Amino acid sequence: MAADLIIESEPIPEPRDRASDLGPFTRAKFMLVRGFLFTWARCFSLKGLYLFGVFFGFLEWTINYKRRRRFRERLAQVIGPTFDERDTAFIRRACLRHFIRIRCDKLFYLIFDKLPREKILKRVKWHNRHILDDALKRDKGAYVCLSHVGSHHVLTLLMALQGYRVAGVRDRNESALRRYVQKKCEETFPEFRAIRIFYADSYPRDLYRAFQDGLILGTALDVSRQRGANLRTASVTMFGQQREFLTGTLHIALRCGAPILQGFVVSRKNFYFHLHVLPALADADEAKDTPDVVQQSMQTYADNIAEHVRHHPCHISRV
């Protein structure tokens, strides 16, 4: 759900079109894997499936030295000058947890549509949910600033299943796995057919419409590469380093009077997920689309990411 900049959408594709370009071999591969995983979960419970993921995550961490190096480089990139390469114990522990988290989140994601609704909802714990619910009472939607920290594709499914009307922005280059799972979830849970997916290379009018319709719109603004010279950015300080974060969607939210929040998802043992909602980055009653408001909001956004990464370095994405 987290993409780097939403600028408008194409017409929302029908659920049956989401995975229409997947080849028969790809679909057969996913069917076999899903069948095996679901059978394992039926035989050994979801806890047994989680332990299965831990085991394979550990194996991947043991043999995939290239990805271990990429994680180390990504961690150094995110943390910046304060990154201490001599702290090998910290790096090794964060890297191993990263491998296990990624593997287990993928297993849960693959069989999400096969699990009973009640069993899924029991695995979700909210922190400050009232902040989001109070924001939605304003009838102007809500903008939730996400980041490339955590499994937000799981977050989208969890929120939709709890009755929230959500929208997200992403690149058009979606993975085959996500397209396949999205289609399966839409076939199983009617709530997922209402999820709106916008793309990062369009125009902004659908974003305005999303706020007018009272949707929760989520995007990630912490970019790791420059997407284009015409994109609006703000310079923030994170871990003692200057970074350029995207601000396009923030401007739209301010113009629409939508409450601007920040959220994180934390993956826990045995497929439990903690959803954290942080206080508003700007006062929805008084904040206007001015340079000062944008700069202050983006710096608070960056500070919150830094604090979250300190506690959950294994949740860094895009390794």
By mean pLDDT, which of 1-15, 37-51, 298-312 is the weakest? 1-15
- pTM for the model stands at 0.88
The residue assigned the tokens 């199983």 is 188
pLDDT value of position 4? 36
Letter for the amino acid at 251?
H
Domain ranges of the chain: 15-315
pLDDT value of position 228? 53
Nearest to 188 by CA among 34, 3, 10, 46: 34
Instruction: DSSP for 166-226, please give it.
Output: EEEEE-S---HHHHHHHHHHHHH-GGGGG-EEEETTS-THHHHHHHHTT-EEEEE---SS-
Cα 147 to Cα 39: distance, rounded to the nearest angstrom: 34
Phi, psi of 6 (to 5 degrees): -100, 130
Can you list the alpha helix ranges (DSSP code H) found in 224-290? 248-256
Judging by DSSP bridges, how do beta strands 273-282 and 124-127 pair with one another? parallel
* pLDDT (tens digit per residue) in 241-278: 898 999 989 999 999 999 999 999 999 999 999 999 99
Structure tokens at 152: 């937000």
pLDDT at 239 over 70: yes
Structure tokens at 232: 């609006």
Q: Give the distance from CA 215 to its chain's centroid.
A: 17
Q: Where are the beta strands (DSSP E) in 4-87?
A: none
